[in-house]
Amino acid sequence: MFRFSHNEYFWLLTVIPALTLLLILFLLWRKKALNRYGDPVIFLPLMPEASSIKTILKFVLQMVAVTGLIVALAQPQTGSRMEKIQRKGIDIMICLDVSNSMLAGDIKPNRLERAKQSISRLIDRLEGDRIGLIVFAGKAYTQLPITTDYAAAKLFLNTVNTGIAPTQGTAIADAIELAANSFGESKHNKAIIVITDGEDHEGNTLEQTEAAVKKGMTVYTIGMGLPEGAPIPVFRDKVMTGYKKDREGNTIISKLDETLLQRIASIGGGIYIRANNVESGLNRIFDEINKIQKTEIETKQFADYEDQYQYFAGFALLILFLDLFIFERKTFWMKGLKPFLRE
C-alpha cells in the first residue's frame, strides 16, 4: 500500500504554473526589448552564444527538481507488512439530517454544526467499532461506507453541509432503509442513530424502523432543536441575507417534531434524546450502545510503513547538480547546430 503522510504539502505544486507564467512573460519581454534595438537578423549574429533553448531546458530541470522535493516533503510511504488485528466492537451507522432547517440557530452555532461537532467527538471515543455516515434531506445518500478508518470518517464528516443534498425535505424513512442495507452481511451487532429536527418527514418511517429491528438492529434518535424553535437563515454566497418565509411573507419558524422521533426510538428498541445547548445527546446514546454485546471484528491493516522520501529527494538533488553544469549560453558543440536551416 502506498500513501503520503503529509498531503498538505502538495499545495506547494501551485508554485510551478505560477513560475511557468513568469518565465513566459520574461521571454516575451526580452524578445520585445531586443526588437527595440533593431532587426534581429542583424544583431543576433553578434550574440552567437545566446541560447533560449538552454534557458527553457534549465527551467524544466529546475521545476522537475522542485516537484521531487515537494513529493519528498509529503513523505511517501509504503506498507511493508500486513497483519490481521482482532477487534471487538459494533457497527454504528449515523443518519444525519442536512436539510435547510438544520441551519436554525436555536442550538449554537446551529443544529447541523453542533451535530457534526458531537459526531466528531464520538469518533474520538470509538475503539474497534465500525462507523458509517448517511446524509439525508429529500433523499438519503451514503456519505461514508461502514469503516474502522476513523481519520477518513472525520474527513468525510468535515465535508458535510446543506448544499450536498440536491432536494430538500426530511426523508427519515429513506435514511433508515439505506442504513439498514449498508451493514452488509456482517454478524456484528448493529445500531442506527438518526440525528434530525424531525420536520417535514416523508414516507413509511415507522415501517422502515420495524424492518430494521427485524434485521437485528437497534434504532436511536436525537432531536436537534428547542421547543420554541428558530427561523431558518437564508444564505447567498455564504452571507446571510435574511430568513426563509412562506408564501404570505411570514418568517418560517422551524420547530422540533419530537413525537415521531420518540416513536421511532420506541419501535427501534433504542432511546430518544433531545439535544440542547448543553449536550447533544450522542454521549448518552453511545453509553447505551456500549451496553450492547460487542463481537469480534477482523480487520486487515498495514502495521508498518517505510519512508520512501529519500529517493525523491535524491532524484531532485541529482537534477539540481546536473543543472549546475548547464549554462544558458551555447556550448562549443552546439554553435554549429542549425536544426531549422538547410545547406
Q: What is the CATH number of the domain that holds 163?
A: 3.40.50.410
Residues 56 and 34 in one domain: yes
Q: Which of 21-30, 106-115, 293-302 has the lowest mean pLDDT?
A: 293-302
Q: Tell me which amino acid residue 149 is.
A: D
**151, 111: one domain:** yes
Question: Are residues 171 and 200 located together in one domain of the fold?
Answer: yes
Supply the mean pLDDT for the chain.
Answer: 82
Query: What grid cell was written down for 13?
Result: 505544486
**Is 74 in the same domain as 99?**
no
Q: Residue with C-alpha cell 442513530?
A: 193
Is 340 part of a structural domain of the chain? no
pLDDT at residue number 343: 41
CA-to-CA dists, residue 162 to 75, 166, 203, 235, angstroms = 35, 9, 21, 11
Find which of 154-163, 193-202, 269-278, 279-288 is predicted with most confidence, using mean pLDDT. Answer: 154-163
Answer whether residue 12 shows pLDDT above 80. Answer: yes
Q: Say if residue 138 is in the same domain as residue 279.
A: yes
155-202 tens-digit pLDDT? 999 999 988 888 888 889 999 999 999 987 777 789 999 999 876 556
Lowest mean pLDDT segment, chosen from 54-58, 124-128, 190-194, 301-305: 301-305
In the predicted model, is pLDDT for residue 256 greater than 80?
yes
Residue 126 placed within a domain: yes
Q: Beta 130-136 vs 140-147: how paired, if at all?
A: antiparallel
Helix 282-289 crosses helix 111-125 at what angle (to 10 degrees)? 30
298 in a structural domain: no
Alpha carbon distances (Å) from 297 to 29, 84, 125, 189: 65, 10, 17, 10
Q: Does a structural domain hold residue 205?
A: yes
Q: Name which of 125, 179, 132 is nearest 152 in CA terms.
A: 132
Instruction: Report yes or no on 267 lying in a domain.
Output: yes
Do 180 and 280 belong to one domain? yes
Q: Strand (E) positions, the chain?
A: 2-4, 76-89, 91-97, 130-136, 140-147, 190-196, 217-223, 230-231, 233-236, 239-243, 253-254, 269-274, 295-307
Cα-Cα-Cα-Cα torsion 64, 5, 150, 89, nearest 10 degrees, comes to: 130
Q: What is the pLDDT of residues 115-163, one digit of tens each?
A: 999 899 889 888 878 899 999 988 999 999 999 889 899 999 999 998 8
| Grid coordinates of 7 | 498531503
Distance (Å, whole) CA 131 – CA 143:
11
Question: In terms of domains, do 253 and 141 share one?
Answer: yes
The domain of 72 spans 2-79+305-323
| pLDDT, position 69 | 92
Average pLDDT over residues 279-296: 76
Domain count, the chain: 2
Does residue 204 fall inside a structural domain? yes
One domain, residues 33 and 159: no
Which three cell numbers, joined as nine digits, stand for 329? 549560453
Residues 128 and 177 in one domain: yes
Is position 73 within any domain? yes
Whole-model pTM? 0.62
191 and 151 in one domain? Answer: yes
Query: Percent of the chain, pLDDT > 90?
Result: 31
What is the mean pLDDT of the segment spanning 98-120?
90
- The answer to whether residues 110 and 185 belong to one domain is yes
Does a structural domain hold residue 330? no
Mean pLDDT for the stretch of residues 227-251: 83
How would residue 211 be classed by pLDDT, with cut points 50, 70 and 90? very high
pLDDT at 293: 62
Co-location of 104 and 57 in the same domain: no
